[in-house]
């Protein structure tokens, strides 16, 4: 029997077959002198060249017209969809704009964004400083408990007041966690402090102009004071104040941490477990000649004592008893900052040794080796730190032979980052990486979910910020150029795509910096009144849940208690974002 469908049903079937075009775009801001790229998604093939317009929000007038690029696909993420890039890098006029297209008689318009000189920094830095201020572990209950913090397995108590709560759902305080996994140790509280010092020194005039300099400096000094309290009488740093996710602040202990929140008395920080970056931050901030609750002289003395201690004891604290690449770049940062602060040959020699180690870990393929065998270096939060450490070392190193070796390594690393990212169709420009999975080296967008930690994988927005930072600071010494933040165009484009992903140009149209853009992740509450804050950055996008190699793509607002993998704010994300935007706003040719 022949069926006749009403016209409305036929129209609904047609609409379901071909969804509306989608405009993915940075929802916050672009720097005038940087790249500017959006992504458009269509269901069906286009039969002719296609244009887009930038529309001035205030006047409604078209300010710029351009053509979309040739179509691309991402079979691993969104099969059956076509993606086109809208590149308007040539447009530099300050103002508020939307991207607009006309398609099959209909008009589609993006969420508005701003363009201006140093606009990303101008829009976001105040909020980031606010975020850290609100993350301070300074409620009366925390301060009282932290003043007499008990060491795990001992009746001894120490004063560990201060520091920042680690995440919007975790009020613990970490120099680093995942130490037991050896190759995944992220830099946490010390990285935040060093990032603040670095940013303050990179753009002091802008920070003063925006009335942010004192606030940022005070936050950095607050971080330095916590690290001084965490420096034991035996000259090692206490690694973790762990909450056990208990609402009672007196339940917390100083601990070492294994998988599944198993705690131990192995709480001494190796170079890779926060010790190196803590030394670096203290040595660097000591040169401000400003006092927090400790003096600048005490900051430098603490850095010296901790460094001397780790030169003797580091492998005792490394969980597997062996140093790896993370020890190298964290120790390089520590030695470099002490060399800059003191001018002493002992720190010069240690910095050169660690730089040589990093140079020796570089492969012909362009990625670093983590161990003494064949494991590629891949990291979910600090992937750019080897290049950042080498670049900081070059701020001090003047010997041409040592400089040439470090520059070669930086170039190889940056070339690799761009090459592996562009090796396949990748319209969002999301940074890809090489990793070891089941004994074989693979390339992919996200870290494998089966890894040495046994359980830890999450959105990688800190990794994106670290790679953007590496592209800018490393590019300025290895590939300097006019415009584009002072680096060559391919690196600038790479850096911009990572930052724009965080600010909304991703397949979920999610701005991961809270309080900015059209879409934010849900609010997350925590103990003692802490939780999500404006300026905090959430974990972000991962490989598909259930895919052990990290393939596919996922972002979940709810996941039966595991939504933290995507939605939780974490202090390293904002630290790397801070570093990146400060580097982009720093005048080219001016080192820290």
Judge whether 410 and 419 are in contact, CB under 8 Å.
no
Asked if residue 338 is part of any domain, the answer here is no
Judge whether 457 and 449 are in contact, CB under 8 Å.
yes
* Same domain for 125 and 111: no
Asked if residue 42 is part of any domain, the answer here is yes
Relative to beta strand 106-109, strand 263-264 is unpaired
* Same domain for 400 and 529: yes
473: its two tokens: 């600071």
pLDDT tens, N- to C-terminus, the chain (592 residues): 444 344 433 333 333 445 789 999 999 999 999 999 999 999 877 767 789 999 999 999 999 999 999 999 999 999 989 999 999 999 999 999 999 999 989 999 999 999 999 999 999 999 999 999 999 999 999 999 999 999 999 999 999 999 999 999 999 999 999 999 999 999 999 999 999 999 999 999 999 999 999 999 999 999 999 999 999 999 999 999 999 999 999 999 999 999 999 999 999 999 999 999 999 999 999 999 999 999 999 999 999 999 999 999 999 999 999 999 999 999 999 999 999 999 999 999 999 999 999 999 999 999 999 999 999 999 999 999 999 999 999 999 999 999 999 999 999 999 999 999 999 999 999 999 999 999 999 999 999 999 999 999 999 999 999 999 999 999 999 999 998 999 999 999 999 999 999 999 999 999 999 999 999 999 999 999 999 999 999 999 999 999 999 999 999 999 999 999 999 999 999 999 999 999 999 986 665 5
Per DSSP, helices labelled H in 40-188 are 119-134, 140-146
CA atoms of 83 and 345, how far apart (whole Å) = 55
Asked if residue 320 is part of any domain, the answer here is no
Judge whether 527 and 139 are in contact, CB under 8 Å.
no
* pTM listed for this prediction: 0.96
Q: Which of 82, 116, 150 is the last residue of a domain?
A: 116
* Same domain for 128 and 98: no
* CATH number where 434 lies: 1.50.10.10
* Same domain for 134 and 106: no
DSSP 166-178: SBTTB--EES-S-
429: its two tokens: 């420009």
Which residue shows structure tokens 């990285």? 191
Residue 404: other Cβ atoms inside 10 A: 10
pLDDT at position 587: 86
CA atoms of 361 and 245, how far apart (whole Å) = 39
Asked if residue 327 is part of any domain, the answer here is no
Closest CA to 149 of 237, 288, 15, 250: 250
DSSP 270-319: -GGGTHHHHHHHHHHHHTT---SSS-HHHHHHHHHHHHHHHHHHHHHHST
Judge whether 382 and 187 are in contact, CB under 8 Å.
yes
CA atoms of 230 and 222, how far apart (whole Å) = 13
CA atoms of 174 and 585, how far apart (whole Å) = 29
* Same domain for 189 and 138: yes
* Same domain for 124 and 63: no
CA atoms of 261 and 250, how far apart (whole Å) = 17
pLDDT at position 50: 86
* Same domain for 150 and 63: no
* Same domain for 125 and 108: no
Asked if residue 2 is part of any domain, the answer here is no
* Same domain for 164 and 106: no
Q: Which of 53, 85, 116 is the last residue of a domain?
A: 116
Domain residues for 85? 22-116
* 238 beta partners: 268
Q: Which helix (H) or strand (E) holds 206?
A: helix 204-209
pLDDT at position 188: 98
* Same domain for 144 and 112: no
* CATH number where 41 lies: 2.60.40.10
pLDDT at position 588: 65
CA atoms of 406 and 356, how far apart (whole Å) = 8
* Same domain for 446 and 433: yes
Asked if residue 424 is part of any domain, the answer here is yes
Which residue shows structure tokens 């917390």? 252
Q: Which of 116, 150, 176 is the last residue of a domain?
A: 116
Q: What backbone phi and psi angles, to 5 degrees, belong to 344?
A: -80, 140
State the burial class of residue 107 (Cβ atoms within 10 Å of its Cβ: 0-12, 13-18, 19+): exposed
* 442 beta partners: 435
* Same domain for 572 and 435: yes
Asked if residue 470 is part of any domain, the answer here is yes
Asked if residue 309 is part of any domain, the answer here is no
Please, what is the angle between helix 189-202 and helix 275-286, to 10°?
30
The count of structural domains within the chain is 2
């Amino acid at each position: 029997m022949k069926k006749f469908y009403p016209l409305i049903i036929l129209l609904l079937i047609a609409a379901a077959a071909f969804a509306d075009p989608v405009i993915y775009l940075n929802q916050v801001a672009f720097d005038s002198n940087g790249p500017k790229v959006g992504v458009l998604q269509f269901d069906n093939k286009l039969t002719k060249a296609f244009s887009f317009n930038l529309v001035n929000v205030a006047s409604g007038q078209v300010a710029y017209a351009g053509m979309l690029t040739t179509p691309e696909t991402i079979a691993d993420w969104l099969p059956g969809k076509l993606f086109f890039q809208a590149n308007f890098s040539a447009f530099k006029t300050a103002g508020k704009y939307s991207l607009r297209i006309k398609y099959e008689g209909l008009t589609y318009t993006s969420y508005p964004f701003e363009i201006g000189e140093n606009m990303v920094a101008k829009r976001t830095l105040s909020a980031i400083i606010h975020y850290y201020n609100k993350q301070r572990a300074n409620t009366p209950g925390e301060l009282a408990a932290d003043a007499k913090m008990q060491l795990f397995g001992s009746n001894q108590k120490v004063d560990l007041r201060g520091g920042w709560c680690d995440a919007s759902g975790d009020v613990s305080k970490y120099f680093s966690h995942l130490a037991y996994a050896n190759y995944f140790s992220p830099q946490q509280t010390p990285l935040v402090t060093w990032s603040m010092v670095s940013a303050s020194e990179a753009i002091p005039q802008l920070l003063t102009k925006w009335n942010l300099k004192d606030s940022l400096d005070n936050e950095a000094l607050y971080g330095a004071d916590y690290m001084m309290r965490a420096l034991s009488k035996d000259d090692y740093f206490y690694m973790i104040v762990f909450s056990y996710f208990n609402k009672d602040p007196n339940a917390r202990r100083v601990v070492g941490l294994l998988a599944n929140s198993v705690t131990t008395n192995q709480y001494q920080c190796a170079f890779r477990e926060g010790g190196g970056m803590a030394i670096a931050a203290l040595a660097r901030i000591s040169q401000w000649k400003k006092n927090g609750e400790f003096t600048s002289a005490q900051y430098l003395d603490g850095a010296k004592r901790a460094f001397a201690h780790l030169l003797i004891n580091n492998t005792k604290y490394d969980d597997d008893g062996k140093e790896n690449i993370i020890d190298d770049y964290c120790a390089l940062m520590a030695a470099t900052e002490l060399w800059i602060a003191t001018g002493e040959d002992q720190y010069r020699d240690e910095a050169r040794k660690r730089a040589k180690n990093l140079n020796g870990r570089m492969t012909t393929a362009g990625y670093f080796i983590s161990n003494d065998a064949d494991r590629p270096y891949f990291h979910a939060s600090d992937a750019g730190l080897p290049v950042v450490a080498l670049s900081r070392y070059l701020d001090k190193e003047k010997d041409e032979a040592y400089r040439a070796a470090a520059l070669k390594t930086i170039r190889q690393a940056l070339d690799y980052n761009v090459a592996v990212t562009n090796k396949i169709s990748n319209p969002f420009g999301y940074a890809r990486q090489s990793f070891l999975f089941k004994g074989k080296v693979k390339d992919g967008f996200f870290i494998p979910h089966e890894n040495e930690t046994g359980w830890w994988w999450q959105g990688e927005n800190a990794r994106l910020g670290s790679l953007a930072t590496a592209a800018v600071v490393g590019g300025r010494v290895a590939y300097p150029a006019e415009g584009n933040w002072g680096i060559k165009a391919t690196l600038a484009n790479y850096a911009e795509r990572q930052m724009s992903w965080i600010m909304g140009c991703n397949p979920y149209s999610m701005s991961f910096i809270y309080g900015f853009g059209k879409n934010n992740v849900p609010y997350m509450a925590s103990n003692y009144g802490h939780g999500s804050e404006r300026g905090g950055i959430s974990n972000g996008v991962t490989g598909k849940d259930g895919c052990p190699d990290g393939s596919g793509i996922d972002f979940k607002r709810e996941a039966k208690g595991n939504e933290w993998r995507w939605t939780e704010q974490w202090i390293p994300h904002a630290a790397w974002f801070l570093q990146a935007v400060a580097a982009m706003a720093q005048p080219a040719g001016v080192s820290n």
